[in-house]
Amino acid sequence: MTRTSLAVVLAAGEATRMKSSRSKVLHSVGNLPLIAHVTRAAASAGVSKVALVIGRDGEAVTEAARSGHNVVVTPVEQTERKGTGHAVLAARDIIAEGFDDIVVLYGDAPLIDPASLSAAAAERVRGADVVVLGFQAADPTGYGRLIEQDGELVAIREHKEASAEELAIDFCNGGIITFSGAQAISLLEAIGNDNLKGEYYLTDIVEIARARGLRCVAVKAPEEDMMGCNTRAELAEIEQVWQARARHAAMVSGVSMVDPSSVFLSHDTELGHDVMIEPNVWFGPGVRVGPGAVIHGFSHIEGAEIGAGAQIGPFARLRPGTDLAEKSKVGNFCEIKQAKVGAGAKINHLSYVGDAIVGPGSNIGAGTITCNYDGQNKHLTEIGANAFIGSNSSLVAPVRVGDGAYVGSGSVVTADVPDDALAIARAPQQTKPGRAHRLREKIAAIKALRKSGPGESGQ
């Protein structure tokens, strides 16, 4: 029989130390809100429902928590701040629905690995009533200590209330606790606030459970799994850890990175095998790269589909709606937006292609611009298969350049070009012999007059 599990996710923090105009759980790591990382991990670990304890920005937090996974998220509001035990009881009505397991998670701790949650759940299956995730701290200062005897957890002692002997312990509380759903409300209601802060500590649940003859254990997880975010500096540290994990996973799957630490990935970046990524590449949300593609250095990519064997950059910008077919090429200092580029097509240098369709095998010369915006609306530029657009051309949309057509360099194309036609749209050149010398003399005289100043011209 499948076990049922409820995650109570605490996400009502005020972000005071973040000094932010929005809830801290809405800040992002890997271009995904912190809270969404947590609910995704819960879903991956088999949680069947999430009770989301909200406060500030409740609607936005709930929407973010629901993004990208298939677990039911039900918000509950915490109107007062009286400690973690009090916060969990805000979800009393949902807890009362009846679950085998209750797991308490934190909306500002996005690095939790589903494997760690599964390890805690496995201890529940083996008979433990309360399971606490802990970690071996490099520096335990400030953390609650996990006190064990004979393989069982007997207490969690807050740092400020720990004895000298207890402070020597480096096995610390990660904050994540899994406990029996049948016992949950009774245990939570028994938590008191007789402590220095006058708050209801969820950690007291261990000693309460043991006093009732229930079994409590601690499960060790990596310290970085427990990293929480209270400041912008901590957010940056968490980003670094998340990026390192994502890069490592990509390289294990067959992606090459010349300088991994300089590559920035997003939560949904998809990279095929044999993709090569050079230094200083940024992937925003919604990017998928096909096998064998090469992303040259200093490229900025978001919302783009890149086909197998394509080459991007260096210094290319691909914006949302870019769809590049196999073996296409976007070169240095090019920008592509909302454009479909066919197989083998080349946009090599210093060009802007937006709201466009470029046929297979076509060549877009340096400095080409699709003039897609009239100040009110966007218009489509269509370039057929095997067309050639000469350098420094402007294609004024809506316009179509046909299959095999040729546009002469420097043209401003305002009318459709039929298949296999040559279009030259530029003013005729005028050449005037001997005029260059006279022009230089005139320019020099003007310059001299300006340098003499207005007060000197009449002397």
In whole angstroms, what is the distance from residue 449 CA to residue 444 CA?
A: 9
**Of 105, 152, 155, 104, which Cα lies nearest the Cα of 128?**
152
In whole angstroms, what is the distance from residue 276 CA to residue 296 CA?
A: 8
329, β-bridge pairs: 311, 346
pLDDT score of 458 = 43
Backbone dihedral region of 268: left (phi > 0), alpha (psi from -120 to 50 degrees) or beta? alpha
Helix, strand, or coil here: 360? coil
- Is residue 416 within 8 Å of residue 399, measured between CB atoms? yes
In whole angstroms, what is the distance from residue 432 CA to residue 191 CA?
A: 96
What contacts 447, CB < 8 A, 6 or more positions away?
none
- Is residue 307 within 8 Å of residue 287, measured between CB atoms? no
The domains located in the chain, with CATH, are 5-226 (3.90.550.10), 249-423 (2.160.10.10)
Q: In degrees, to the nearest 5, what angle opens at C-alpha 396 toward C-alphas 424 and 338?
A: 125
**Of 80, 127, 79, which Cα lies nearest the Cα of 100?**
127
**Of 346, 350, 342, which Cα lies nearest the Cα of 388?**
346
In whole angstroms, what is the distance from residue 70 CA to residue 47 CA?
A: 10
Using a cut of 0.85, tell me whether the model's pTM lies above it.
yes
Give the torsion through C-alpha atoms of 56, 62, 65, 70, to 10 deg: 170
Is the CA virtual torsion 155, 161, 165, 166 positive or negative? positive
371, β-bridge pairs: 396
Is the CA virtual torsion 239, 242, 245, 246 positive or negative? negative
Amino acid found at 429:
Q
Question: DSSP assignment of 143-206, as one string?
Answer: SPEEEEETTEEEEEE-GGG--HHHHT--EEEEEEEEEETTTHHHHHHT----STT----GGGHH
Amino acid found at 88:
V
In whole angstroms, what is the distance from residue 245 CA to residue 224 CA?
A: 11
- Is residue 318 within 8 Å of residue 304, measured between CB atoms? yes
Which residues of the chain are modeled with pLDDT < 50? 456-459
pLDDT score of 455 = 58
The tokens describing 123, both together, are 């201890």
Strands (E), 12-71: 28-29, 32-33, 49-54
Catalytic residue set:
349
Strands (E), 26-170: 28-29, 32-33, 49-54, 72-77, 101-106, 130-136, 145-149, 152-157
pLDDT score of 459 = 39
What are the tens digits of pLDDT across the range 127-166? 999 999 999 999 999 899 999 999 999 999 888 888 999 9
Report phi then psi at 271, rounded to 5: -125, 125
**Of 319, 281, 232, which Cα lies nearest the Cα of 34?**
232
